[in-house]
Amino acid sequence: MTAGLSETQLRDLREGSQLKYHGVQWVVQDYSTYTDANSYETEEWLLKSSTSKAYYLLREVDPQNPETLVHWYLAEELRYPTLLDPKTSRDRLTTVGNDMRSHATPYPELQLFNRVYAFESQTEGDYESDGTLGHRITWDYWDSAHLWNLALEAWSDGTLAVYSTRVVQPTDFTEIQSGDRQAFLSGQNAERSVDLAAYAAFKKRDARSREILIAWIVTIVGFFLMLSGI
Protein backbone atom coordinates (compact mmCIF):
# COMPACT_ATOMS: atom_id res chain seq x y z
CA MET A 1 0.00 0.00 0.00
CA THR A 2 1.31 3.47 -0.91
CA ALA A 3 2.10 5.59 2.13
CA GLY A 4 0.00 8.70 2.69
CA LEU A 5 1.44 12.19 2.61
CA SER A 6 2.44 14.34 5.55
CA GLU A 7 1.11 17.79 6.37
CA THR A 8 4.45 19.32 5.38
CA GLN A 9 4.30 17.69 1.96
CA LEU A 10 0.78 19.00 1.33
CA ARG A 11 1.72 22.51 2.41
CA ASP A 12 4.55 22.48 -0.13
CA LEU A 13 2.08 22.05 -2.99
CA ARG A 14 2.20 24.80 -5.60
CA GLU A 15 0.92 25.30 -9.14
CA GLY A 16 1.96 22.39 -11.32
CA SER A 17 2.31 19.91 -8.44
CA GLN A 18 0.50 16.59 -8.79
CA LEU A 19 -0.90 14.12 -6.27
CA LYS A 20 -3.44 11.31 -6.02
CA TYR A 21 -6.67 11.15 -4.04
CA HIS A 22 -8.65 7.89 -4.10
CA GLY A 23 -6.57 6.74 -7.06
CA VAL A 24 -7.31 9.81 -9.20
CA GLN A 25 -4.50 12.10 -10.38
CA TRP A 26 -4.97 15.79 -9.52
CA VAL A 27 -2.96 18.84 -10.63
CA VAL A 28 -2.64 21.99 -8.51
CA GLN A 29 -3.78 24.98 -10.57
CA ASP A 30 -3.88 27.73 -7.95
CA TYR A 31 -2.74 28.52 -4.42
CA SER A 32 -4.34 31.18 -2.18
CA THR A 33 -4.33 32.34 1.43
CA TYR A 34 -6.94 33.96 3.68
CA THR A 35 -6.74 35.65 7.10
CA ASP A 36 -9.01 37.64 9.38
CA ALA A 37 -8.53 39.97 12.35
CA ASN A 38 -8.92 37.10 14.85
CA SER A 39 -5.94 35.12 13.48
CA TYR A 40 -8.20 32.64 11.67
CA GLU A 41 -6.46 31.60 8.48
CA THR A 42 -6.75 29.18 5.59
CA GLU A 43 -4.57 27.97 2.78
CA GLU A 44 -6.37 26.84 -0.38
CA TRP A 45 -5.19 24.71 -3.30
CA LEU A 46 -7.34 24.37 -6.42
CA LEU A 47 -7.08 20.78 -7.68
CA LYS A 48 -8.21 19.66 -11.14
CA SER A 49 -8.37 16.21 -12.71
CA SER A 50 -7.91 15.26 -16.37
CA THR A 51 -11.72 15.35 -16.72
CA SER A 52 -11.77 18.98 -15.42
CA LYS A 53 -13.37 17.98 -12.13
CA ALA A 54 -12.35 20.59 -9.54
CA TYR A 55 -11.92 20.52 -5.76
CA TYR A 56 -10.43 22.91 -3.23
CA LEU A 57 -8.04 21.43 -0.68
CA LEU A 58 -8.20 23.59 2.47
CA ARG A 59 -5.98 23.84 5.51
CA GLU A 60 -7.70 25.76 8.30
CA VAL A 61 -6.14 27.18 11.45
CA ASP A 62 -8.85 28.13 13.94
CA PRO A 63 -7.59 29.79 17.17
CA GLN A 64 -11.04 29.31 18.75
CA ASN A 65 -10.54 25.53 18.78
CA PRO A 66 -7.10 24.99 20.36
CA GLU A 67 -7.63 21.24 20.88
CA THR A 68 -7.95 20.71 17.15
CA LEU A 69 -6.13 23.76 15.87
CA VAL A 70 -5.50 22.54 12.31
CA HIS A 71 -8.17 21.08 10.03
CA TRP A 72 -8.00 19.77 6.46
CA TYR A 73 -11.00 19.77 4.13
CA LEU A 74 -11.86 18.95 0.54
CA ALA A 75 -14.47 21.29 -0.91
CA GLU A 76 -16.52 21.29 -4.09
CA GLU A 77 -18.11 24.50 -5.35
CA LEU A 78 -21.81 24.06 -6.13
CA ARG A 79 -23.46 25.90 -9.02
CA TYR A 80 -26.98 27.19 -8.29
CA PRO A 81 -27.84 24.82 -5.42
CA THR A 82 -31.15 24.93 -3.55
CA LEU A 83 -30.57 26.21 -0.01
CA LEU A 84 -33.77 25.59 1.93
CA ASP A 85 -34.84 26.99 5.26
CA PRO A 86 -36.00 23.73 6.93
CA LYS A 87 -38.78 25.51 8.83
CA THR A 88 -40.33 27.40 5.90
CA SER A 89 -39.00 25.43 2.86
CA ARG A 90 -38.01 28.80 1.38
CA ASP A 91 -35.01 28.87 -0.94
CA ARG A 92 -32.46 31.29 0.56
CA LEU A 93 -29.95 31.22 -2.31
CA THR A 94 -31.03 34.57 -3.81
CA THR A 95 -31.09 36.43 -0.47
CA VAL A 96 -28.28 34.96 1.63
CA GLY A 97 -25.46 36.91 -0.06
CA ASN A 98 -27.01 40.32 0.64
CA ASP A 99 -27.93 39.21 4.18
CA MET A 100 -24.30 38.29 4.82
CA ARG A 101 -22.91 41.56 3.45
CA SER A 102 -25.39 43.55 5.55
CA HIS A 103 -24.26 41.57 8.65
CA ALA A 104 -27.71 40.10 9.29
CA THR A 105 -28.15 37.32 11.83
CA PRO A 106 -27.22 33.97 10.21
CA TYR A 107 -30.03 31.49 9.57
CA PRO A 108 -29.98 28.88 12.36
CA GLU A 109 -30.26 25.99 9.88
CA LEU A 110 -30.06 25.36 6.15
CA GLN A 111 -30.87 22.26 4.12
CA LEU A 112 -28.75 21.22 1.15
CA PHE A 113 -29.98 18.17 -0.77
CA ASN A 114 -31.20 15.78 1.97
CA ARG A 115 -28.85 16.95 4.72
CA VAL A 116 -29.66 19.62 7.35
CA TYR A 117 -26.81 21.85 8.53
CA ALA A 118 -26.67 23.97 11.69
CA PHE A 119 -24.89 27.32 11.82
CA GLU A 120 -21.60 27.19 13.73
CA SER A 121 -19.40 30.21 13.01
CA GLN A 122 -18.65 33.16 10.76
CA THR A 123 -15.45 34.90 9.70
CA GLU A 124 -14.67 38.06 7.79
CA GLY A 125 -11.34 39.05 6.32
CA ASP A 126 -9.04 39.46 3.34
CA TYR A 127 -8.17 36.90 0.71
CA GLU A 128 -5.10 36.90 -1.52
CA SER A 129 -4.65 35.03 -4.80
CA ASP A 130 -1.81 35.76 -7.25
CA GLY A 131 -1.22 39.11 -5.58
CA THR A 132 -4.87 40.18 -5.84
CA LEU A 133 -6.72 41.07 -2.64
CA GLY A 134 -10.43 40.54 -2.01
CA HIS A 135 -12.76 40.74 0.99
CA ARG A 136 -15.15 37.98 1.99
CA ILE A 137 -17.57 36.98 4.72
CA THR A 138 -18.00 33.26 5.43
CA TRP A 139 -20.82 31.44 7.21
CA ASP A 140 -20.00 27.86 8.23
CA TYR A 141 -22.65 25.21 8.80
CA TRP A 142 -22.13 21.59 9.93
CA ASP A 143 -24.21 18.42 9.89
CA SER A 144 -25.04 16.65 13.15
CA ALA A 145 -22.12 14.21 12.79
CA HIS A 146 -19.71 17.10 12.09
CA LEU A 147 -18.41 15.32 9.00
CA TRP A 148 -19.93 17.50 6.30
CA ASN A 149 -19.61 21.26 6.09
CA LEU A 150 -21.68 23.81 4.15
CA ALA A 151 -19.67 27.00 3.57
CA LEU A 152 -21.17 30.21 2.18
CA GLU A 153 -18.81 32.94 0.98
CA ALA A 154 -20.11 36.45 0.24
CA TRP A 155 -17.59 38.59 -1.65
CA SER A 156 -17.24 42.35 -1.75
CA ASP A 157 -17.85 42.30 -5.52
CA GLY A 158 -21.37 40.94 -4.95
CA THR A 159 -20.74 37.28 -5.78
CA LEU A 160 -21.72 34.32 -3.60
CA ALA A 161 -19.89 30.98 -3.50
CA VAL A 162 -21.41 27.83 -1.99
CA TYR A 163 -19.21 24.86 -1.06
CA SER A 164 -19.99 21.34 0.06
CA THR A 165 -17.03 20.23 2.16
CA ARG A 166 -15.87 17.06 3.87
CA VAL A 167 -13.13 16.41 6.39
CA VAL A 168 -9.94 14.79 5.06
CA GLN A 169 -6.50 13.94 6.42
CA PRO A 170 -3.08 14.44 4.75
CA THR A 171 -2.64 10.65 4.74
CA ASP A 172 -5.66 10.37 2.38
CA PHE A 173 -3.38 11.72 -0.39
CA THR A 174 -0.53 9.85 -2.07
CA GLU A 175 2.13 9.97 -4.78
CA ILE A 176 3.00 13.65 -4.77
CA GLN A 177 5.03 15.03 -7.66
CA SER A 178 6.58 18.43 -7.14
CA GLY A 179 6.07 21.25 -9.58
CA ASP A 180 6.25 25.00 -9.71
CA ARG A 181 4.40 27.83 -11.36
CA GLN A 182 6.93 28.16 -14.17
CA ALA A 183 6.65 24.49 -15.04
CA PHE A 184 2.89 24.70 -14.92
CA LEU A 185 2.82 27.74 -17.19
CA SER A 186 5.34 26.09 -19.51
CA GLY A 187 3.01 23.12 -19.81
CA GLN A 188 0.13 25.41 -20.66
CA ASN A 189 2.26 27.23 -23.23
CA ALA A 190 3.30 23.89 -24.73
CA GLU A 191 -0.34 22.89 -25.06
CA ARG A 192 -1.14 26.21 -26.73
CA SER A 193 1.84 25.74 -29.09
CA VAL A 194 0.55 22.31 -30.12
CA ASP A 195 -2.90 23.78 -30.71
CA LEU A 196 -1.47 26.62 -32.81
CA ALA A 197 0.69 24.22 -34.82
CA ALA A 198 -2.31 22.00 -35.50
CA TYR A 199 -4.36 25.02 -36.52
CA ALA A 200 -1.61 26.22 -38.85
CA ALA A 201 -1.38 22.77 -40.45
CA PHE A 202 -5.14 22.73 -40.90
CA LYS A 203 -5.11 26.17 -42.52
CA LYS A 204 -2.29 25.04 -44.85
CA ARG A 205 -4.23 21.93 -45.87
CA ASP A 206 -7.37 24.01 -46.32
CA ALA A 207 -5.56 26.51 -48.57
CA ARG A 208 -4.03 23.65 -50.60
CA SER A 209 -7.49 22.09 -51.03
CA ARG A 210 -8.88 25.36 -52.32
CA GLU A 211 -6.01 25.65 -54.83
CA ILE A 212 -6.68 22.13 -56.13
CA LEU A 213 -10.42 22.82 -56.38
CA ILE A 214 -9.85 26.04 -58.33
CA ALA A 215 -7.45 24.24 -60.67
CA TRP A 216 -10.04 21.55 -61.39
CA ILE A 217 -12.73 24.15 -62.03
CA VAL A 218 -10.46 26.01 -64.49
CA THR A 219 -9.61 22.72 -66.26
CA ILE A 220 -13.26 21.67 -66.56
CA VAL A 221 -14.37 25.09 -67.82
CA GLY A 222 -11.52 25.11 -70.36
CA PHE A 223 -12.51 21.63 -71.54
CA PHE A 224 -16.12 22.66 -72.17
CA LEU A 225 -15.00 25.84 -73.91
CA MET A 226 -12.80 23.77 -76.19
CA LEU A 227 -15.69 21.43 -77.05
CA SER A 228 -17.85 24.42 -77.80
CA GLY A 229 -15.22 25.84 -80.18
CA ILE A 230 -14.92 29.05 -78.25
pLDDT per residue as tens digits for the range 38-48: 788 889 999 99
Residue 200 lies in a domain: no
Which residues are CB-neighbours of 213 under 8 A, at least 6 positions away? none
Coil, helix or strand at residue 39: coil
pLDDT digits (tens, 9 = 90+) for 91-147: 999 999 999 999 999 999 999 999 999 999 998 988 877 677 889 999 999 999 988
> The domain containing residue 13 runs over which residues?
7-179
**What count of residues does the chain have?**
230
The reported pTM is: 0.66
Alpha carbon distance 56, 51 (integer Å): 16
- The Cα 107–Cα 91 span in angstroms is 12
In a domain, 163, yes or no: yes
User: CA-to-CA distance for 226 and 199, rounded, in angstroms?
Assistant: 41
CA-based angle 31:33:39, to the nearest 5?
160
> Into how many domains does the chain fold?
1
Residue 212 lies in a domain: no
Evaluate whether residue 79 is within a structural domain: yes
Q: Which residue, among 49, 21, 43, has the nearest Cα to 31 in the 3D structure?
A: 43
pLDDT at 149: 94
pLDDT for residue 198: 47
Whether the CA torsion 199, 202, 204, 207 is positive or negative: it is negative
Looking at residue 199, its pLDDT comes to 47
Asked if residue 201 belongs to a domain, the reply is no
| Host H or E run for residue 176 | strand 173-177
- Within-domain flag for 78: yes
Stretches where the chain sits below pLDDT 50 are 181-199, 202-203
State the pLDDT at residue 227.
62
